[in-house]
Amino acid sequence: MSVITNIRKFWERFEDEQSDLENALIKKEYDIINEIVGGLNEEVNSISGCSFFVEDVSEDFEMTIDPGPNKTSQYIAAQIKKMAPDNVKKTWRINAVLQPLSQKAIEAAVQIKDETYTLADLYVFYEIEPQSQTFEVKMYCPGYQLIENDEYTKEMSMYLLELAIGQTYYEAYISSVEPLTAPLGDTKDFCNLVDFYSLMQDTIEQNRWKEYSSPLDIYSIYEPNQDFAHDSLRKDMKIIFTTHPMLVEETLGEKNDVLLDLKAKEGEYGYIYYANPFQGKDNALFRQELSKQLDGTISKLNLGKVIGGAMGKSFSYIDWIVYDPEGFEKAFEQIKKQLDPKVELHYVTFHEFMN
């Protein structure tokens, strides 16, 4: 079994229930919808850690595979979307992350004491940070003054903001979120929470900020404090770039929670490495081109995806999420035969490296 075989089984089940689900959505038969979606949600959650829901507020059929902030779940959700059968793609819009102002957001309600609040009852006070291209957010809800636990109101604010603007905008453009028990009186920079997404869109467009189509497009850069005289694997790294910051932080700190999470879903994290063939900038250009070449081949086979890499004093690294470990290793052996023999590639799982 592997992530890929699990995804194929999910889509087989979806196709078995597709007609019944579509008819129930058209007729708004919510008992049937809830029963079918409940079963699909259980399966998606077991193979990816994501939740699954469908929309019935537009003319199109729409499903969302919602991974939340967990990067492993985000990678698998993107792969589930990628592997959707053609007959499903013809009639369904498929989202691999939570979208802004989804039906889930529209229906969201928070009960505080005897009052119920929706997104329309909340206000965002914001400060734009041009240098980092982010927003600092403070959120006001009239009911917050009734809650004594500040951590709870902060978590609630983060969750409701994510519902309003979607996962991609939340990860890309929000630098901080704080709750308010009273509105700020000394600023004009505020709006209703349901209007904040469009305000962000306008700000990003007008100021020509970098745009992202997915949280997996967001790279973080690390410069580890390592002894650069050290030539051993992953100990010589001078710069790391990744779409999975927690994986980097955990492996540098010799922890393995992220690794175990993916292992439980029948995949693995690993890296390809090779001795640097050049000096200086030429090494970086070679690594970049090789990474693109390998990612194009392996991704096309649905076996894995490049998630980052590193430049070291002695070695260069290309980091992977692997959806089918057995298939990946077979493909990797074939690919090596077609490459320049001057560069000898090796693959190591992070589990092997940590042990």
Question: What is the CATH number for 308?
Answer: 3.30.70
Q: How confident is the model at residue 269 (pLDDT cuts 50, 70, 90)?
A: very high
pLDDT digits (tens, 9 = 90+) for 30-63: 999 999 999 999 999 999 999 999 987 667 899 9
Residue 92 structural domain? 3-97
User: What's the structural domain count of the chain?
Assistant: 3
Mean pLDDT computed over 114-136: 96
Same-domain check for residues 234 and 310: yes
Paired tokens of 235: 């100990």
Sequence-distant (≥ 6) Cβ neighbours of residue 180 within 8 angstroms: 125, 138, 139, 140, 141, 144
Phi, psi of 185, rounded to the nearest 5 degrees: -100, -5
Same-domain check for residues 318 and 244: yes
CA distance 263 to 42: 19
Q: Are 106 and 83 in contact (CB under 8 A)?
A: no
The DSSP result for 117-176, as a single string, is: E-GGG-EEEEEEETTTTEEEEEEE-GGGGG---HHHHHHHHHHHHHHHHHHHHHHHHEEE
Least confident window among 108-112, 161-165, 288-292: 108-112
Report if residue 212 sits inside a domain: no
Paired tokens of 96: 């691999």
Same-domain check for residues 93 and 108: no
Strand, coil or helix: 109: coil
Q: Are 3 and 323 in contact (CB under 8 A)?
A: yes
The DSSP result for 43-110, as a single string, is: HHHHHHS-EEEEE-SSSSEEEEEE-TT-HHHHHHHHHHHHT--HHHHHHEEEESSPPTT-HHHHT--E
Q: How confident is the model at residue 113 (pLDDT cuts 50, 70, 90)?
A: confident
Same-domain check for residues 336 and 224: yes
pTM over 0.75: yes
Same-domain check for residues 338 and 236: yes
Q: What is the pLDDT of residue 325?
A: 97
Paired tokens of 284: 């970086």
Same-domain check for residues 269 and 165: no
Helix axes 281-300, 325-338, angle to 10 degrees: 130
Report if residue 112 sits inside a domain: yes
pLDDT digits (tens, 9 = 90+) for 68-98: 999 999 999 999 999 999 999 999 999 999 9
Amino acid making up residue 46: S
Same-domain check for residues 314 and 284: yes
